[in-house]
Structure 1
Amino acid sequence: MRLGVLGGTFNPPHLGHLACAQEAYLQLELDLVALIPTRTPPHKVLQDDPGPRHRLELCRLAARGDERFEVSDLELCRSDPSYTVDTLEELHATVQDSELFLIVGGDIATGLPEWHDPERVLSLATLAVANREGTPRSSIEAALRRVPGGERARFFPMPHIAISSTLVRQRLRRGQAVRYFVPDAVIEYIERNRLYGAGTSGNRVAAPA
């Protein structure tokens, strides 16, 4: 199985995440893309985190109905910080006959030399880099050359989508609509559970039907 692995905080998941997963699936001819929310990122403090279980459910709602995607709670079952190398090793042990493709943005790929055990990461998975505006490919390739195996990275074109989880959270706090930024099922869950400050002032974040 050619398995794409897209990890992240998904705080919350948005259409940019799904577009990236789709482009990797199509262009790298994957059989499946696993969306894996992190529990405790080792190098990042989560802003406005509603908790890992809410983020997991938001991912499930975002991917619902699309057989190309599967959401995994693999990292949420750990109490320790989430390291990519541990996730890849566990996937190799549990998914038989798998060829793993680790899907990342160019900005993330440039930081690979500073990851925990980056050489082992690249021995377990092919790095699949979304080639989009913002980070020159030459900068990405220069960073990858610092890690043995980095030359095997695959690049795939990715349309520029100016949506981020930070932007979505900001709009929710202001009571602004986020329809067409995140799937409708995600909006409904956020409103119902009053996550990210949504609904606290009686404002609906979804545009009226």
Structure 2
Amino acid sequence: MFDAAASIRCALEEADARTTPYRHWLLTDVLPEEAIRAILALPITPADIEDTAGRRETHNSTRRFFAPDEQDRFPVCRALAAAWQEPATIAAIETTCNVDLGGNLLRIEYCQDRDGFWLEPHTDIGAKFFTMLVYLSDPPSGEDWGTDIYASPSEFVGSAPGQRNAGLIFIPGENTWHGFRQRPITGVRRSLIVNYVTPNWLSRHELAFPDHPVA
């Protein structure tokens, strides 16, 4: 089995730190290629969604998470959940991002976005304490599938590199505006969203280890 935790830690050590328009980090080679192939081979069909209305929660019933049930069914889900729960991974995140994750809970969402998907600018403030995105598929030539970064809800700054195995990290705050402008998606835009959320997170079925906060 691949060593996802070591790969994540290496990506964190080599992260490209940015301060404009807010603190964020760009990553490359986040996961072992074997892990990405295993994720893409999961028998999880992309949901047929006509309009998100700019929010993922518009279609909560179709969302998929690396929760205990999925970990029991699929070894790759179990391996990645363990990698992001591992104390050495937590320590690497805390060192890179100057953040304390202790007592928070791991949440990993597997996203498969089709043409027509978009997200309005938002900040992730609230119960989300940490946000990391890992892109799993290369967009076709001429298409940009990276997360859009904004200085304000109406001031677009640029997009994170969205190529396969690249990543984006930010610590949610009042100015961490991000989204996804509606644009062509030829095929399926696949990604992982990794959050550490506060213990009062209500949707316990989304959590990787509902009863085990990170050390």
* Bigger relative contact order (CA 8 A; separation at least 6): 2
Please identify which structure carries the higher helix content.
1
TM over 0.5: no
Tell me the TM-score normalized by structure 2.
Answer: 0.29
Tell me the TM-score normalized by structure 1.
Answer: 0.29
Please identify which structure carries the higher strand content.
2
